[in-house]
Amino acid sequence: MTEHHMTEIFEKKHSLMITNVMADGNVVDIFVDDSGTIAGIGENERKKRKGEAEFIIDGEGAIALPGLVNTHTHAAMTLLRGYADDMILQDWLTQKIWPLEAHLTAEDVYRGTRLACIEMIRSGTTAFNDMYFFMGDAARAVDQSGIRAVLSYGFIDLFSEEKREKECKATESLAAQVRSLNNPRIKAAAGPHAIYTVSREGLQWCAEFAREQKIGTHIHLSETEGEVNDCIARYGKRPVALLDECGILTPRTVAAHCCWLDEAECTLLGNRGVHVSYNPASNMKLATNRALPCHWLSEAGVNVCLGTDGCASNNNLDMFEESKIAALLQKFYWNNPTVLPAQEALSMATVNGAKALGFGTGKLIISAPADIVLVSTHAACNTPLHHASSNLVYSCNGGAVKTMICDGKVLMLEREIPGEAEVRESAARAADELVRRAQGS
Ligand SMILES: [Zn+2]
């Protein structure tokens, strides 16, 4: 550290020099200017810019990675972590999750999202794609946390026209709220929940709204076989064809799960430029009985990224763990240990995610936003260091992250996050009160 006091580093964006850090196999210095951009990266950057940086971060003993991007989650569900496990998906939703969610307040969502952001900062995630309720309050939490998010209101009309009008209003109001925040780290998206919870009219409205507002769309797609069969029974076609007819499939769309796609559906998603979020931990925990057809999606040129899903079905937001589970599930399910190698799994968690959410390049290069994660090479999980990508995916988890920078602002330094205890305690209280309210009813 320089002459500045260490806590000052958290107060705002500063120019930073990260010295002697390992990046893409080379030892380099990374210079971040005070606008939050990577302005220099190379072997002699420190010498070249002597005295330019307000703070020096010693990167010796660390690997620098671009920030991880979680492309499908329900952040405030941290409050439901461990509340109900080991159940059949439909029972789990109808008996446990939905009854509890019926008692959620805006303040709960705020506190749950704050906790989620802390957990993401701790495990190196700099951006996430969220779908839930009371999203104006989620936006407030993200704004304060310092990380990036695309926020969508979970649009569920249950095939009722009356309910649909309410959902349209909620979607419009979130877009307006996010616009008024005027924070480049936060974007709104349309969030039609899924084809089994949203009518054709609702899907069409969401597609039109997203197009008009030039915002993204976030949807659950073909998570279960039942969902596909019901769609064929109701509409006489498979889910991807239905979504295409409704105008949902665009290069700004992120479709989560996608376990039960057939080959032709993968091709169509590729033609439409849709991004697919792979959620292996959630799929395994809820036993969707099929893994994402990663090889078909890759052949179709689909950008496949990674997401944790909510904390009720995972039960954490650790994208390092997710990348390991992602690789293992592909190998196991498709019975081939060569599919989804470590480097590809890591790209899914970084570059591909950044591309899906439209947050920079997901690479540590000049003029990229400074979303940088430093992972300790002194951790046991990172020793010895034969292949960095192998350790990062198969051996380490988010606990090996020591420092995290988003948009040029240091959010965690040597595992310290200012104000963390208060956020954690307040979320724990909110979760206890939520369960008490639900049981009292
Ligand atoms: Zn989900």
- 185-235 pLDDT, tens digit per residue, is 999 999 999 999 999 999 999 999 999 999 999 999 999 999 999 999 999
Distances (CA, A) of 2 to 52, 63, 148: 12, 22, 28
Pair 162, 209: CB distance under 8 Å:
no
Ligand 1 centroid–CA 220 distance in Å is: 6
Coil vs helix vs strand at 288: coil
Ligand 1 centroid–CA 364 distance in Å is: 29
Ligand 1 centroid–CA 214 distance in Å is: 23
Ligand 1 centroid–CA 73 distance in Å is: 6
340 Cα distance to chain centroid: 20
Residues near ion ligand 1 (CB < 5 Å) are 309
The mean per-residue pLDDT over the stretch 390-418 comes to 98
Q: Check residue 6 and give its pLDDT.
A: 77
58-106 pLDDT, tens digit each: 999 999 999 999 999 999 999 999 999 999 888 998 999 999 999 999 9
Ligand 1 centroid–CA 213 distance in Å is: 23
Six token digits for residue 209: 């709204």
Ligand 1 centroid–CA 274 distance in Å is: 17
Ligand 1 centroid–CA 49 distance in Å is: 46
Ligand 1 centroid–CA 130 distance in Å is: 9
267-272's contacts with Cβ under 8 Å and 24+ in sequence apart are: 267/296, 267/300, 268/240, 268/241, 268/244, 269/240, 269/297, 269/300, 269/302, 270/297, 270/300, 270/301, 270/302, 271/300, 272/244
Ligand 1 centroid–CA 269 distance in Å is: 19
Ligand 1 centroid–CA 6 distance in Å is: 39
Ligand 1 centroid–CA 304 distance in Å is: 16
Whole-angstrom distance, CA of residue 293 vs CA of residue 138 = 32
Over the range 3-39, which residues count as b (16 or more CB within 10 Å of their CB) and which as e? eeeeeebbeebbbbbbbebbbeeeebbbbbbeebbbb
45-57 pLDDT, tens digit each: 999 999 999 999 9
* pLDDT of 441 above 80: no
Ligand 1 centroid–CA 438 distance in Å is: 22
Instruction: Supply the pTM of this predicted model.
Output: 0.97
Ligand 1 centroid–CA 313 distance in Å is: 9
Phi-psi region of 17 (alpha: psi -120 to 50; beta: other; left: phi over 0): beta
Distances (CA, A) of 184 to 99, 139, 219: 35, 12, 23
DSSP 173-199: HHHHHHHHHT-TTEEEEE-B--TTTS-
Pair 338, 325: CB distance under 8 Å:
no
Q: Check residue 3 and give its pLDDT.
A: 43
Residue from 195, 251, 190, 248 nearest 221 by CA? 195
